[in-house]
Amino acid sequence: MKKKLILLLLLQITSQIHAQESENLELNETVVETTRIPEIVKNSSSSVIVVSKETIESLAMSNPDMSVILGLAVPSIGLSSNTTSNRSQTMRGRQMLIMIDGIPQSTPLRNTDRDIRSISPFAIERIEVIEGASSLYGSGAIGGVVNFVTKKNNTDRLFNGETSIGITDARFKQGDHAFGYKLNQQFYGKVNKFDYLVNGGIVTTGRGVDGERKFISPRYGLSDVMAKSIMAKVGYNFSTNTRIEAMYNYFSSEQDTDLIAAEGKYLQSPRIGIVGEKDVRAVNEGTRYNHNAYVKFISKDIFKNTNLDLSLYTQNLYTIFDYRANNPRSPRWEETGGQAAIKAEKYGARLNFLSALNLSKDIKMSVLYGGDFMLDETSQPLVDGRLWVPKLKAYNSAVFLQTVTNFYHKFSLKAGVRYDNILVKVPNYKTIPTRANQEWVSIEGGNLSYEKPTFNTLLQYHVAKEFNPYVSFSQGFAIFDLGRVLRTANADVVSKIETDPVATTNYEVGFTSKIAKKINLKFAYYWSHSKLGSDLAAGDDGFWKVVRNPQLIQGLEVQADTKINKYVFVGGSYSYLEGKLKSEGSSTYDDYMSGLSIPAPKLTLFTTITPVDNFTVNLMYTHTQERNRFHPVLNNSGNLVYKEGEGKVSPIDLFNLSSNYKMNNMRISLGIENLFNKTYYTSSSMLMARNNEYARGNGRYYTLGFTVNY
């Protein structure tokens, strides 16, 4: 206990971890491109966050899972579920659009809930985050945008390389099989006008163990998982103004374990893993492959004061979920067991023109205009061949106009409009009945059309470094998992099924501040409402249903950091939000939104200590508060139980430690996840309120790494 109190005294000021940068490079000078008009972060005014490569590497020392890294690094994103699913990991209480170099990873026609875990952290240069509804990229960004920006060559040398190895263990004990390893190899360089970077790696985990050294349930689990990745990027500069670039990224993550799930009683005992034999019909779950590629042509001054950026991209994804044995009390798939999968393909093009207009000496404007097109094909088959969701085809097209105007170096005005048109083609199909003696229901397909203009505007006043207030308005919309609705449809015609998209309107006020040249402070208060909600609730047949009741979300975020002296840098962040909806027939927001959307308040504190040259220690403390908004209700058996998604979420306190020592071109690192080996249940397992998902988080894990550059 004394150790914890001493550590807490070191963590004195709230801030964002992504402010951890080297002494000669301030994060505020980073140019962010996810805003579509490249700009320096400190001038972006809205809630734009950049998670640097240094921060990613520091967090990955203790846990390389991208959902863990995002949950710790971004105040508005909930903590990881410690599973393969990011279903409840929302941004500001709503769905976020995940991208790799601008390529959408989300599958709105049938959501995989796996889009965060779509890339290796060792392939990422930085993560750019736009918090709050965004109309910049179209459907899916009702909570915000996360863009994983892949690495690229940044030297003029012919050949460079980096080799990293690491070992991970929970107990350093023979026979528990909790051992894992990491291998990553990178080559990069430049030959005349040609530059290249190739990165490949393997990350394996052993059996997951909690603080009491019990094996964690393998359901949707990260036990015995092997993740493989390859990323290649090449570019050719025709001139200083003209460049062509190509990127390919492959990622897979597959679980092959001898653990099976056992026990588990909500609020009493955890679901654990025991050594056993799984069903002979079950195949290994996980993302078998996720291919992303683009070809990009960039031309500066293609005509007067105008730059061109043309991208062609594709994505191909195949994910397999866990095997479900038949449950006689709640049967599915003709009273048989089965294993669902999702297959998705995307082909897209993005055309940007960026023009600079100097309206006068003191009024300067940047204008972005162009169009997006994407073909999205998604289906959900069972592994045995039966088709649960037919192949849906969505034709997405949009035109957009975005402007940024600076007045007298005092005011910045952003304004934009985007018009999206989405046509979804649904073929004739049949739904799989739950009972063996039932006929398959025939559904007549058809076309579903969505048209939506969305607007955004933001005004910032540059009073002084000490105070830069802003106010913003933005809209977003999303198709809310169409396949989930279609696969259990009772209507005979698609046009009779309620499929209206979710549209949100977001307002935000806040300010940024730099005090005494050393204290950075940021504050934001926001509120977001939608006429149609997107919460999920469990239906009587055991399948999730979409709750369309109107929603209102309000929240605030505070971030700060400061460099105390040349040895110590401290900071952290605090995020609070609450969401309510209108119950049936109500004219007011009188009921709370479930934990699937609204996370518990989160506090993050950190300190970075450099006691001697080339030696750095990072200590991070994460605290989530209680969220207990619901009461148990009587189930069919007459027992009081919580509804799924409405469970009681208790507080969590976790410490993570990472350190590294540099020697010339070598670096030795040590990461410790859950430093004090706390036994706890993940927020996701608590809010789900289901015996099968009531699982604990990781106990103490050690990761020792070695990196050499040449």
pLDDT tens per residue across span 117-127: 999 999 999 99
- Are the C-beta atoms of residues 89 and 81 closer than 8 Å to each other? yes
Residue 209 pLDDT: 94
> Do the beta carbons of residue 382 and residue 338 sit within 8 Å?
yes
Q: Which residues pair with 513 in a beta bridge?
A: 521
| The pLDDT of residue 46 is above 70 | no
How far is it, in rounded angstroms, from Cα 628 to Cα 642? 11
**CB burial of residue 588 (10 Å; 0-12, 13-18, 19+):** exposed
**Which residues does residue 203 pair with via DSSP β-bridges, in sequence order?**
182, 227
- The mean predicted confidence, pLDDT, of the chain is 89
Decide: 161 and 200 in contact? Cβ < 8 Å.
no
If you average pLDDT over residues 577-593, what whole number do you get? 93
As a whole number of angstroms, the distance between CA 237 and CA 466 comes to 41
pLDDT of residue 469: 94
In which residue are the tokens 């990260």 written?
222
- Name the residue with tokens 């109107």: 550
- Which single residue is written with the structure tokens 């199909």? 429
H/E element, 512? strand 502-515
Neighbouring residues of 112: CB distance < 8 A, sequence distance ≥ 6: 317, 319, 342, 344
For residue 172, pLDDT beyond 70: no
CA–CA gap between residue 206 and residue 180 (Å, rounded): 5
Q: For the residues 594-610, what does the mean pLDDT come to?
A: 95
Positive or negative, the CA dihedral 361, 363, 364, 370 is negative
Helix, strand, coil percentages, rounded to 5, for the chain: 10, 55, 40
Count CA atoms closer than 13 A to 16's CA, side-chain side: 28
Rounded to an integer, what distance in angstroms lies between the CA atom of residue 366 and that of residue 368?
7
Pick from 335, 432, 423: which is nearest to 380 by CA?
432
Amino acid 540: pLDDT: 54
For the beta carbon of residue 371, count every other beta carbon within 10 angstroms: 15
Paired residues of 573 in beta bridges: 559, 604
Q: Tens digit of pLDDT for each residue in 15-39?
A: 333 333 333 333 445 677 777 777 6
Q: Which has more confidence, 42 or 78?
A: 78
Instruction: Tell me: pLDDT of 173 over 70.
Output: no
Task: Tell me the pLDDT band of 463, cut-offs 50, 70 and 90.
Answer: confident
Give the whole-angstrom CA distance, residue 147 versus residue 149: 6
Q: Which residues pair with 160 in a beta bridge?
A: 188
Q: Count CB-CB contacts under 10 A for residue 280.
A: 5
pLDDT band (50, 70, 90) for residue 585: confident
Place of tokens 């990127």: 247
CA dihedral 459, 462, 463, 466 (to 10 degrees): 110
Please give the pLDDT value at position 27. 41
Backbone angles phi, psi at 381, to 5 degrees: -90, 160
> According to the model, what pLDDT value does residue 41 have?
59
H/E segment holding residue 281: none
Q: Provide the pLDDT for residue 562.
A: 95
562: its two tokens: 């400061």
> Which CATH fold topology does 2-320+341-709 show?
Maltoporin; Chain A (2.40.170)
Per residue in 148-159, pLDDT tens?
999 999 999 999
For 660-696, what is each residue's pLDDT tens digit? 999 999 999 999 999 999 999 999 999 999 999 999 9
Q: Are strands 411-426 and 429-431 parallel, antiparallel or unpaired?
A: unpaired
Rounded distance, CA 538 to CA 241, Å?
55
- Taking residues 364-386, what's their average pLDDT? 95
Among 3-7, 58-62, 349-353, 478-482, the minimum mean pLDDT is found in: 3-7
Q: To which residue do tokens 């969220």 refer? A: 627
Does residue 416 contact residue 136 with C-beta atoms inside 8 Å? yes
pLDDT > 80? residue 2 = no
> Using CA of residue 589, residue 594, residue 597, residue 603, what is the dihedral sign?
positive
pLDDT at 108: 86
pLDDT for 270-321, tens place per residue?
999 999 998 999 999 999 999 999 999 999 989 889 999 999 999 999 999 9
Q: Say yes or no to pLDDT of 563 above 80.
A: yes
Q: Say if residues 472 and 513 touch (Cβ distance below 8 Å).
A: no
Residue 10 confidence (pLDDT) above 90? no
Lowest mean per-residue pLDDT among 43-57, 251-265, 614-628: 43-57
Residues 368, 351: contact at Cβ < 8 Å?
A: no
Between 166-180, 245-259, 297-311, the lowest mean confidence (pLDDT) is in 166-180
Q: Are 622 and 36 in contact (CB under 8 A)?
A: no
For residues 102-141, one letter each, b for 16 or more C-beta atoms within 10 angstroms of the residue's C-beta and e for the rest, the string is bbbbbbbbbbbbbbbbbbbbbbbbbbbbbbbbbbbbbbbb
What is the pLDDT at residue 533?
77
pLDDT class for 42, splitting at 50, 70, 90?
Answer: low
For residue 544, the model assigns a pLDDT of: 58
Closest Cα partner for 496 from 436, 441, 421? Answer: 441
Amino acid occupying residue 20: Q
Q: Return the residue matching tokens 């939000």.
A: 577
Q: Which value, in Å, is the radius of gyration of the alpha carbons in the chain?
A: 25
What value does the mean pLDDT take over residues 476-490?
Answer: 82
Closest alpha carbon to 401 in 372, 353, 369, 355: 369
What type of residue is 289? Answer: Y
- Cα 298 to Cα 619: distance, rounded to the nearest angstrom: 41
Count Cβ atoms below 10 Å from residue 335 Cβ, excluding itself: 15
Confidence of residue 477 (pLDDT cuts 50, 70, 90): confident
Instruction: Report the alpha-carbon distance of residue 19 to residue 7 in Å, rounded.
Output: 20
Q: Is residue 709 pLDDT above 70, yes or no?
A: yes
> Cβ atoms within 10 A of the Cβ of 192, count?
8
Q: Where are the alpha helices (DSSP H) in 417-497?
A: 482-486
Tens of pLDDT, residues 95-117: 899 999 999 998 989 989 999 99
Give the start-to-end residue ranges of the domains of the chain: 2-320+341-709
245, 195 contact by CB (below 8 A): no
Q: Which amino acid is at 138?
A: G
Residues 6+ apart with CB under 8 A from 523: 510, 511, 556, 557, 558, 559
Question: What pLDDT does 28 receive?
Answer: 46
Structure tokens at 451: 């048209």
pLDDT confidence of residue 132: 85
User: Which among 191, 201, 202 has a CA at the least distance from the CA of 234?
Assistant: 191
- Using a pLDDT cut of 90, give the percent of the chain over it: 72
Q: How far apart are CA 300 and CA 297, in angstroms?
A: 10
Q: Can you give the pLDDT at residue 537? A: 64
Residue 9 main-chain phi, psi, to 5 deg: -65, -30
Q: In the 8-state DSSP scheme, what is residue 12?
A: -
Q: What is the pTM of this model?
A: 0.92
CA-wise closest residue to 366 among 379, 381, 356, 377? 356
For 501-548, what is each residue's pLDDT tens digit?
888 999 999 999 999 888 999 999 999 999 887 666 655 544 556 678
How many C-alpha atoms does 546 have within 13 Å on its Cβ side? 23
